[in-house]
Amino acid sequence: MPIHTVTRGQSIWQISRIYNVPYQIIAEANGLIPPYTLVIGQSLYIPRVSRRHVVKPGESLWSISRQYNVPIDSILDVNPIESPQAIYPGQVLIIPAETNLFGTIQVNAYIEPAGSPAQELELVREVDDYLTYLSIFSYRVTETGTLLAPPNAQALVTAARNNRVAPLMVITNFRGGTFDTELARVILNNLEIQETLITNILQTLRTNNYSGVNVDFERVAPADRDRYTAFLRRLRDRIKPAGFILSTALAPKVSAAQVGAWYEAHDYGAHGVIADFVIIMTYEWGWSGGPPMAVAPINQVRRVLDYAITVIPRRKIMMGMPLYGYDWTLPYVSGGPFARRVSPVQAVQIASRYGAEIQYDQTAQSPYFRYYDAQRKQHIIWFEDPRSVLAKFRVANEYGLRGVSYWVLGSAFPQNWLMLEDYFNIEKII
């Protein structure tokens, strides 16, 4: 499956002829709208399409299968052939597009309901074929062990289940616009509050027809590391006999000794034993309040996975992937205005509007570009494109991981979903 990088002077019609794929299909796959203006350095995903093959004298289904790298059974499935031997010169065969190059994985995506319920339900419908799990972010815990539910949660659960996507409730120590260390401390140091919280989680799982829970406690104090692990064991012991899944979200560590407010309380080895699977948040190296850089540089992702697989079974690891990028105003000043989040489609549209050329960082395996806005302020955008997606898919396959997990639905990135379907068979568990 080709990924085409646009060069100077190329049009979508020229690219269509190169790959013998209708330009309308290329446009739809890449979120292009008329007049289909392309950007130098832009990465286009060229979808696979079925081809026609005229049988030549001496050819067999075996040789045709080898020529197109498509299994004989796949050719038989789409052609009215009584047996593999019953083909003849001049016969026209449909050769199906090759798919699932990397085998079977599970796929999770987070959704953060906050806007229009109708729009959020449409987000789920657009991607439900590609998901194993939908993680609804978030049920916020309180100091008394109660849960503050996100809006529209029940409708999202119903929409997920209607399309064989397993809904997960995400519980967090999120308060006041951030992950609250003190809130986590209060809960993790009081067994009575924990029992109340676990009872409320179990009741919510049952009442709202969830498949399981994803625990996303962040910025837990290092002193509460073992208490957090003990809480997860108590939660597991209550919900697993009832048939529910337990997963956790982990900060991207490169060693057990890594220090910092986001890392120390996440015991990779313990989570790997307790949870059914873990989601490692391998993104936000480039973040809205930090200096400009790739959101999920592949070299850093590899460092995290190199450590993770030494203490967590590979088939329990979901690798985090971002569906967005950031637009920083330059020069970057620590403590200054935050970068704004942009979707991959928006990023290319901005490059087109300001006449920028897209570059590609080979170390980070991520695209970026600079531009000047109408006020002559310089910007830099790091984002994701088909090349960076393929790099991450290759890593997930190479490391033999359980799958990938996306943060967060709502950013337009059509190429990602088409590539996901072409490269993997996506497992459904309901």
Catalytic residues: 218
Helix, strand or coil, per DSSP, at residue 399 = coil
- Bridge partners of residue 322, in order along the sequence: 407
DSSP 8-state symbol, 334 = T
At 15, the amino acid letter reads I
* CB 150 within 8 Å of CB 109: no
* CA–CA separation, 169 and 138 (whole Å): 7
- Segment (H or E) for 196: helix 191-207
CA–CA separation, 192 vs 198, rounded Å?
Answer: 10
Cα separation of the two ends of the chain = 30
Angle at CA of residue 112, ends 351 and 337, nearest 5°: 50
Report DSSP state, residue 78: T
Phi-psi region of 328 (alpha: psi -120 to 50; beta: other; left: phi over 0): beta
CB atoms within 10 A of CB 394: 15
Task: Give CA–CA dist 103/326, Å, rounded.
Answer: 32
Please say whether the beta carbons of 232 and 271 come within 8 A: yes
Of 273, 196, 182, nearest to 230 (Cα)? 273
- How far is 387 from 360, CA to CA, in rounded Å? 9
Distance CA 79, CA 54 (A): 13
Q: 3-class SS at 152?
A: coil
Helix (H, G, I), strand (E, B) or coil at 133: strand
Largest CA distance in the chain: 79
